[in-house]
Amino acid sequence: MFCALYSDDQGNIFDEPDLAALGRSWDELWEIVPGDMIPMPEGATIMALPRRYSVGIAQDSGEALSVWTYEEVSGQGMERPGLAVAALLPIGFTRTLLPAYVSEEREKPTALPLYGYTAMAMRNGKLYVAALQTDDPSKWDPKVYNTPDLPQLIEEALARSPNNRVLKQLANCSVMYSCPTAQNVFYKRWEGGIPVSPACSANCIGCISLQPSECCPSPQSRIDFVPSVQEIVEIAVPHLEEASGAIISFGQGCEGDPLLQGETLTQAIRCIRAVTRRGILNLNTNAGLTGDMERVLRAGLDSIRVSLVSAREDTYNAYHRPLGYSLNDVVDSIKQAKDLGVHVSLNLLVFPGLTDRKEEFEALSDLVDTLGIDMIQFRNLNIDPDMLIQALSLPSQETMGINRVICELRARFPHVRLGSFSPSSEDLGRRP
């Protein structure tokens, strides 16, 4: 049996051997079974969820019960409900269930920070999480980031380019947020990110870089300037020429949609490709601005990754809240990319109870088949589960399960790569 977990007010984690663990799909509580769980991977972290209380299922009665713990308060013993706990997974692992919890209506808990909360439990003294491994996380292993030499590497790079505002932004993201794609620029390896746009083409629920003051705090700050072509080229060219597995990606967590700076981006890509053909130039985008998309594609992009929570228009609009474009425009942009031989990935924002609805799966499958998508990159949607459920206002519905969605995609589209990370030069058949 997988046992329910809970936390006390001091953050200590305990298991409750008398209650079986529960997970959550949309707003339904499910008993966790062995096929749902894997051992908690290295690099995962545990978070107690404030004002949300752990629940488990009594094996004798089948009743869902809150977990209670004995606390010492002001010298007097009393019982208090144990806080729910959740795992935050490293990149390369896709969650299959949300954490189960209850909250008291009168408390009206504030929104959770924008992370991908995952159900977890204990079995035979070991911690497990509701997840699948969907890619090789070795390049994103926390052990290879934040190394002792990073501060010196940042200092040396800033000394070489003291007036480059983008480089200063990447230095800040490296230190403040431990951003892997920012740090890779200083390590001169793999995928390096260059933010270019302070504005976005959508107003997604739970945007990780910009939130209204009454909402949850953003986990990172958005870039507040538009870089020059020279600032972009000054970073991109050395990275592409010197880094192993070199990728430069536009469209980072610390910016909006790069297509809003289409002219700057087009000029920068042309300048970069005039100097070097090495490595991959990748664009992460909402892909709604078809005119700007065509220009940057023709300038020399190698790949694009299009963010998508749903291939159904109503659900897409309710989450992404596009500003001046439609899902049809996104489809047109993808068609343009495919016609020009550009590799297209979907950045599929996975949420248990939504992604695995039958109509969602069929709409996604139709999109992949019709457009000839090359890759689906699974990303756990970072959001307070209740925030999304309230915003979309969808009724509960029987679901396939995230595991089955991935299995069915593999069966239907054996030529489509499923994973979590941007394709390398080798994946695209390009010179490394």
Cα-only R_g, the chain: 22
Tell which residue, 73, 63, 66, 87, has the closest CA to residue 16. Answer: 66
Q: Which residues pair with 86 in a beta bridge?
A: 47
Tell which residue, 227, 235, 304, has the closest CA to residue 275. Answer: 235
Same domain flag for 356 and 413 = yes
pLDDT at position 142 is 85
pLDDT at position 105 is 61
Domain count for the chain: 2
pLDDT at position 429 is 63
pLDDT at position 73 is 39
Q: What is the DSSP string of 393-410?
A: -PPP--B--HHHHHHHHH
Domain span at residue 277? 138-419
| The two structure tokens encoding residue 353 | 């109870």
User: Which residue in this structure is represented by tokens 């977890």?
Assistant: 120
Which residues are CB-neighbours of 244 under 8 A, at least 6 positions away? Answer: 188, 189, 190, 432
Rounded (10°) angle between helices 358-371 and 402-412: 30
Same domain flag for 150 and 72 = no
Same domain flag for 106 and 142 = no
How far, in Å, CA of 237 to CA of 234, rounded?
6
Tell which residue, 245, 251, 30, has the closest CA to residue 121. Answer: 30
Same domain flag for 103 and 227 = no
Same domain flag for 124 and 184 = no
pLDDT at position 402 is 97
Task: Please state, as a whole number, how many other Cβ atoms lie within 10 Å of the Cβ of residue 411.
Answer: 8
Contact 236, 167 (CB under 8 A): no
Same domain flag for 149 and 78 = no
Same domain flag for 180 and 307 = yes
Same domain flag for 265 and 387 = yes
Mean pLDDT, contiguous 10-residue spans, the chain (432 residues): 92 91 95 93 94 88 70 46 94 96 75 94 97 90 93 97 97 93 97 95 80 46 90 98 95 91 98 96 97 97 97 97 97 98 97 98 98 97 94 91 97 96 73 52
Residue 428 domain-assigned (yes or no): no
Helix H or strand E encompassing 431: none
pLDDT at position 58 is 87
CA atoms within 13 A on the CB side of 143: 4
pLDDT at position 65 is 76
Last residue of a domain, one of 133, 162, 189: 133
Alpha-carbon distance values, 374 to 41, 217, 338 (Å) = 28, 35, 9
Helix H or strand E encompassing 342: none
Residue 427 domain-assigned (yes or no): no
Helix (H/G/I), strand (E/B), else coil: 191: strand
Same domain flag for 178 and 122 = no
Strand 280-285 relative to strand 244-250, pairing: parallel
The CATH number of whichever domain residue 160 belongs to comes to 3.20.20.70
Residue 246 domain-assigned (yes or no): yes
| The two structure tokens encoding residue 408 | 């069915």
Helix H or strand E encompassing 151: helix 150-160
Last residue of a domain, one of 133, 167, 188: 133
Tell which residue, 115, 112, 118, 94, has the closest CA to residue 24. Answer: 118
Same domain flag for 396 and 263 = yes
Residue 315 domain-assigned (yes or no): yes
Same domain flag for 21 and 150 = no
Same domain flag for 163 and 270 = yes
Residue 424 domain-assigned (yes or no): no
Quote the pTM value: 0.92
pLDDT at position 252 is 85
Residue 34 domain-assigned (yes or no): yes
Last residue of a domain, one of 133, 167, 201: 133
pLDDT at position 209 is 57
Residue 257 domain-assigned (yes or no): yes
How far, in Å, CA of 119 to CA of 401, rounded?
14
Residue 91 dihedral angles phi and psi, to the nearest 5°: -60, 140
Residue 93 domain-assigned (yes or no): yes
